[in-house]
């Protein structure tokens, strides 16, 4: 008998709830009689907002409690920002669905400076991402970059309080929260390469739950799935993710995937680039990762992890 109800595990931040509600509405578009409930949860990462993620175990802390809810049957699916999903999942869980990607670009948000170029020397820019920090340091080494954590609304509040001249956020998050008017400028993929999975939502469930898989499969976007899989293959090969200044982005060019990777040291002085085109996400990710390794990626990562 087809499944008639579904429970979605989600973090309770405004953005996470917006993402879970988007998935809910998309499912109802396909299954109008399906009863869907949201199970809001506070994750370990949400409880440690004043501590850099690199020092407390990385972005896996954003999904730990959600996965526990899946494993013990309190929830049927969990909705994640793909850039927050660990490279290794619990044995009984999988990530069969990646929804169509939203805008993957990073954006410049400021009340006084319309572009990065307009900010004077020594201006203070907030971001929690080592990836953004290193690329910004390459673009504007004269700026002061300060760690900034918290949900999107908290980060915007710090900006509005005058603690920062500008902050860097993801376009997709602001769009999903209805806050696109806060965006002053968009970084090109050349200037600021995104994180693996940025802009895409993933749906995780139990491997054995065939009925749930049949429902959520409607939301899978094949091209986005291929691109994000290629990006995650780079991260998996390098052993790098949110704890390193690693940027990876794939997009479809006709029938092929165009994959770019970037790894920088923390001050942005050394920046490695690699790109490949192909059709198989895993082999493509491996090729880009090996290119970066041949240029010294492992040495950069070892230095970062020792610091």
Q: Are strands 5-11 and 77-81 parallel, antiparallel or unpaired?
A: parallel
Q: How far apart are CA 187 and CA 166, in angstroms?
A: 14
Catalytic residue among 33, 50, 72, 84: 84
The helix/strand/coil state of 188 is coil
Of 224, 288, 300, 296, the residue nearest 259 (C-alpha) = 288
Question: What SS3 class is residue 207?
Answer: coil
Strand partners, 274: 261
Give the distance from CA 3 to its chain's centroid.
30
Q: Is 84 noted as a catalytic residue in this protein?
A: yes
Q: Is 223 exposed, middle or buried (0-12, 13-18, 19+ CB in 10 A)?
A: middle
Query: Mapping DSSP to helix (H, G, I), strand (E, B) and coil, where does residue 121 land?
Result: coil
3-state DSSP call for residue 86? coil
Q: Which residues are catalytic?
A: 84
């Amino acid at each position: 008998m087809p499944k008639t109800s579904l429970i979605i595990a989600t973090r309770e931040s405004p953005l996470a709830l917006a993402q879970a509600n988007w998935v809910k509405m998309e499912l109802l578009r396909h299954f109008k009689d399906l009863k869907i409930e949201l199970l809001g949860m506070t994750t370990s990462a949400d409880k440690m907002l004043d501590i850099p993620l690199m020092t407390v175990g990385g972005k896996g802390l954003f999904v730990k409690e959600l996965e526990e809810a899946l494993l013990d049957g309190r929830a049927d699916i969990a909705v994640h920002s793909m850039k927050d999903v660990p490279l290794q999942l619990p044995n009984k869980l999988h990530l069969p669905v990646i929804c169509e990607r939203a805008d993957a670009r990073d954006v410049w948000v400021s009340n006084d400076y319309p572009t990065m170029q307009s900010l004077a020397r020594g201006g203070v820019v907030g971001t929690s991402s080592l990836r953004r920090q290193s690329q910004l340091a390459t673009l504007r080494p004269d700026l002061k970059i300060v760690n900034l954590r918290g949900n999107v609304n908290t980060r915007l509040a710090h900006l509005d309080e005058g603690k920062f001249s500008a902050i860097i956020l993801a376009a997709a998050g602001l769009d999903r929260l209805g806050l696109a008017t806060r965006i002053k400028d968009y970084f090109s993929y050349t200037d600021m390469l995104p994180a693996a999975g940025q802009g895409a939502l993933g749906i995780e469930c139990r491997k054995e739950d065939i009925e749930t898989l049949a429902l959520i499969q409607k939301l899978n976007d094949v091209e986005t799935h291929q691109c994000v899989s290629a990006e995650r293959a780079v991260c998996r090969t390098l052993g790098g993710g949110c704890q390193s200044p690693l940027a990876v982005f794939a997009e479809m060019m006709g029938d092929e995937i165009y994959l770019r990777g970037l790894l920088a040291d923390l001050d942005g002085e050394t920046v490695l680039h690699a790109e490949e085109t192909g059709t198989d996400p895993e082999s493509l990710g491996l090729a880009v990762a090996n290119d970066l390794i041949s240029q010294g990626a492992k040495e950069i990562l070892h230095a970062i992890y020792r610091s």
